[in-house]
Amino acid sequence: MQENAKQVYVVDDDEIFHFILKKMLEQQTEHLEVTSFLCAEDAIAQLQHLPVCSLPSLIILDMNMQRMNGWDFIDAYRDIKGSLQQQIPIIMCSSSVDMRDMQKVKRTPELMAYITKPLDPVKVKQITDCLA
């Protein structure tokens, strides 16, 4: 990782979303490294074994994935966050516009924002503002 680079984890089972988001983030932010995870289990496993200096600055999390969805990821994150030296901001990113999902996000302290897909430059700016 480059010196002073911010690390972002993208946890989403859609490879095209990873590609698009990475390109959009790179257009708006310098010194950013994006690590992609196609399944939430891999992201949790990575977090459990990282030294403090390597923790991501932000996690962008899809709500609807196979096997372990975004809510399951939050539950697993709660189990390990006490062992992490810092809390990691998480943004839920989903195509769902269901009010129940949005209310659940508001009641979930680990989530700092909810952004709907598809992404546009304004939404990507919301993401990059969370890195400041």
pTM > 0.85: yes or no: yes
What residues contact 20, with CB distance under 8 A and at least 6 apart?
A: 119
pLDDT of 132: 66
DSSP assigned state of 5: P
For the cut 90, the answer to whether the pLDDT of residue 52 exceeds it is: no
Q: CA–CA distance from 41 to each of 4, 22, 44 (Å)?
A: 27, 21, 5
Give residue limits of the domains in the chain.
6-129
Residue of 47, 15, 8, 50 lying closest to 31 (CA atoms): 8
Instruction: Give the whole-angstrom CA distance, residue 69 versus residue 6.
Output: 25
Does domain 6-129 sit in CATH 3.40.50.2300? yes
Average of per-residue pLDDT across 84-109: 91
Give the pLDDT band of residue 84 (cuts 50, 70, 90).
Answer: confident
Going by the DSSP 8-state scheme, the letter that residue 24 receives in this structure is: H
- For the cut 70, the answer to whether the pLDDT of residue 2 exceeds it is no
